[in-house]
């Protein structure tokens, strides 16, 4: 493990500056001459970074999403990548080609967490490693951005929630959509009563290609020499090396979470953000393996139904979600919220607000008056409000992913609360993961969304 002298002096300089600022309510070089450095360092924890200082990050899991996450994080000013961990030699080589030969690389994530020059990590491994690396990172004092779903099964959630609370470190789950302008607008519209009383919501994810259905290419050099297979399966069923289980991990229950953990979780995150919901109390799923019969253990069509109980934030309502990996129309994804006075189709970049009514149909008095008025005045036409309003992001918007990383890195820098912490991430993951229990065990599953417990 290497660590540059420059880095540690950078950090102690930052600590002193921040400590002084906290003590004196000011900033500037004079504060470097504080009396008791140990005391100052402790006080500086809330504000370790000066405005111009880099947050130094490391990536754990340098595959498709890890690379995208890192590229996005590096777009946020004041972010620097110092180390990368992956279990496949090819990905470590690509990381050095992309980000420079001096990058520290390893196959053991604990070496990343031991480094003093790493302030925060991105965790983009397959799902079965999310819990352990999240807990270890937080307890080593690192901020952590963990890809969705936060955990691989419901029983793992409390450990991450507790590690975040105990460590006091910034932890954000990677359902980037909820940081988007589209989701923020939908929340504002929903809270202002734009669709009336929420009755029903639905979401859909359709794909129609081999890669969309997780049949990724297997590198030609994949072998036990290039893949640290023992480390990969260290926390799950022992098996001999299988490149399909490593590079197409989503298809297997030991490592992935099926279509619900992969995709429903995004829809839950957005829905919970818009409605301030904690989640459903009843989960039912059915579906089947209709087309991609390549040895996978999970369905390629899944239908989920969810009952949301009434809370202070929203009325009781129903949700229906679908994923179809064999859809000739392909590419269609949406989240629709239907209320007593209209509906909203919500994406990360748009909101389509639709209203088909000119008056409240539930108001019998107004309806009778309007009929009388029509009779008296004859056939004169009315001015109608718009039936559909389309809110769209302005050109140049950097997108949900950038906004989500900005939230996370501001959390690391200033201790500001993030939008998708461990509790939020757990409440979004749980109903998605419970779909797998419902599907495989062929039963209705009950969940307490407030206590976050399976019933």
Q: Does 53 bind ligand NAD (CB under 6 A)?
A: no
Q: Which of residues 294-323 bind ligand NAD (CB under 6 A)?
A: none
Q: Does 348 bind ligand NAD (CB under 6 A)?
A: no
DSSP at 263: I
Residues 367 and 411: beta-carbon distance below 8 Å: no
Residues in a beta bridge with 140 = none
Q: Does 109 bind ligand NAD (CB under 6 A)?
A: yes
Residues 178 and 257: beta-carbon distance below 8 Å: no
Beta carbon nearer to ligand NAD, 261 or 411: 261
Beta carbon nearer to ligand NAD, 119 or 136: 136
Beta carbon nearer to ligand NAD, 146 or 283: 146
Residue 194: both structure tokens together: 């734009």
- In SS3 terms, 407-443 reads as HHHHHHHHCCCCCCCHHHHHHHHHHHHHHHHHHHHCC
Tokens 């500056």 found at: 17
In whole angstroms, the minimum distance from the beta carbon of 226 to ligand NAD comes to: 10
First vs last C-alpha separation in the chain: 46
Residue 93 CB partners (closer than 8 Å, separation 6+) = none
Q: Does 178 bind ligand NAD (CB under 6 A)?
A: no
Residues 88 and 246: beta-carbon distance below 8 Å: yes
Judged by CB under 6 A, how many residues of this single chain contact ligand NAD?
A: 25
3-state secondary structure of 391: strand
Beta carbon nearer to ligand NAD, 60 or 194: 60
Q: Does 176 bind ligand NAD (CB under 6 A)?
A: yes
Beta carbon nearer to ligand NAD, 90 or 315: 90
In whole angstroms, the minimum distance from the beta carbon of 153 to ligand NAD comes to: 14
Q: Which residue is nearest to ligand NAD (CB)?
A: 63
In whole angstroms, the minimum distance from the beta carbon of 19 to ligand NAD comes to: 34
Segment contacting ligand NAD by CB under 6 A, of 37-45, 86-94, 388-396, 428-436: 86-94
In whole angstroms, the minimum distance from the beta carbon of 128 to ligand NAD comes to: 8
Q: Does 63 bind ligand NAD (CB under 6 A)?
A: yes
Q: Does 142 bind ligand NAD (CB under 6 A)?
A: no
Q: How far apart are CA 419 and CA 23, in angstroms?
A: 29
Residues in a beta bridge with 227 = 88
Q: Does 129 bind ligand NAD (CB under 6 A)?
A: yes
- In a 10 Å sphere around its CB, with 0-12 CB exposed, 13-18 middle and 19+ buried, how is residue 178 labelled? buried
* Contacting residue, 60, 206, 263, 278, with ligand NAD by CB under 6 A: 60
Q: Does 262 bind ligand NAD (CB under 6 A)?
A: yes
Residue 251 CB partners (closer than 8 Å, separation 6+) = 214, 244, 294, 295, 296, 297, 298
Q: Does 148 bind ligand NAD (CB under 6 A)?
A: yes
CB atoms within 10 A of CB 344: 25
Supply angle C-alpha 244, 249, 250, rounded to 5.
130
In whole angstroms, the minimum distance from the beta carbon of 12 to ligand NAD comes to: 30
Q: Does 147 bind ligand NAD (CB under 6 A)?
A: yes
Q: Does 41 bind ligand NAD (CB under 6 A)?
A: no
Segment contacting ligand NAD by CB under 6 A, of 57-65, 190-198, 199-207, 409-417: 57-65
- Chain residues in the site for ligand NAD (CB under 6 A): 60-66, 85-88, 91, 109, 124-127, 129, 147-148, 174, 176, 231-232, 262
């Amino acid at each position: 493990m290497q660590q540059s002298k420059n880095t540690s002096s950078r950090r102690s300089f930052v600590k002193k500056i921040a400590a002084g600022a906290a003590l004196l309510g000011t900033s500037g070089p004079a504060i470097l001459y504080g009396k008791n450095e140990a005391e100052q360092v402790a006080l500086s924890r809330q504000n370790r970074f000066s405005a111009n200082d880099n947050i130094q990050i490391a990536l754990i899991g340098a595959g498709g999403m890890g690379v995208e996450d890192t590229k996005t994080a590096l777009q946020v000013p004041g972010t620097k990548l110092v180390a990368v961990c992956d279990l496949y030699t090819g990905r470590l080589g690509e990381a050095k080609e992309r980000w420079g030969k001096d990058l520290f690389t390893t196959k053991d994530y604990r070496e990343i967490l031991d480094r003093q020059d790493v302030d925060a990590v991105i965790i983009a491994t397959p799902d079965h490693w999310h819990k352990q690396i999240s807990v270890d990172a937080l307890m080593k004092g690192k901020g952590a951005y963990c890809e969705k779903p936060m955990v691989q099964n419901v029983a793992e959630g409390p450990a991450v929630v507790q590690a975040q609370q105990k460590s006091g470190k910034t932890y954000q789950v990677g359902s980037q959509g909820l940081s988007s302008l589209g989701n923020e607008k939908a929340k504002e519209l929903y809270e202002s009563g734009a669709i009336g009383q929420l009755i029903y919501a639905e979401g859909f994810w359709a794909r129609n290609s081999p890669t969309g259905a997780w049949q990724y290419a297997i590198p030609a050099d994949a072998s036990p020499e290039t893949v640290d297979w023992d480390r990969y399966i260290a926390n799950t069923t022992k098996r001999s090396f299988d490149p399909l289980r490593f590079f197409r991990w989503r298809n297997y229950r030991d490592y992935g979470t099926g279509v619900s953990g992969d995709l429903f979780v995004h829809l839950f995150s957005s829905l919970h953000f818009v409605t301030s919901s904690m989640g459903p109390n009843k989960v039912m799923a059915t579906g089947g393996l209709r087309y991609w019969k390549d040895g996978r253990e999970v369905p390629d069509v899944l239908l989920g139904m969810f009952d949301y109980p009434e809370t202070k934030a929203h009325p009781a309502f129903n949700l229906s979600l679908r994923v179809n990996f064999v859809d000739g129309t392909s590419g269609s994804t949406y989240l629709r919220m239907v209320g007593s006075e209209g509906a909203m189709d919500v994406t990360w970049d748009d909101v389509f607000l639709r209203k088909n009514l000119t008056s409240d149909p539930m108001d019998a008095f107004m309806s009778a008056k309007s009929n009388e008025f029509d009779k008296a005045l004859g056939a004169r036409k009315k001015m109608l409000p718009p039936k559909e309003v389309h809110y769209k992001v302005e050109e140049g918007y950097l997108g949900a992913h950038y906004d989500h990383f900005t939230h996370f890195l501001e959390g690391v820098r200033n201790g500001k609360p993030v939008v998708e912490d461990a509790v939020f991430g757990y409440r979004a993951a749980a109903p998605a993961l419970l779909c797998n229990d419902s599907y495989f065990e062929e039963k209705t599953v009950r969940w307490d969304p407030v206590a976050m417990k399976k019933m």
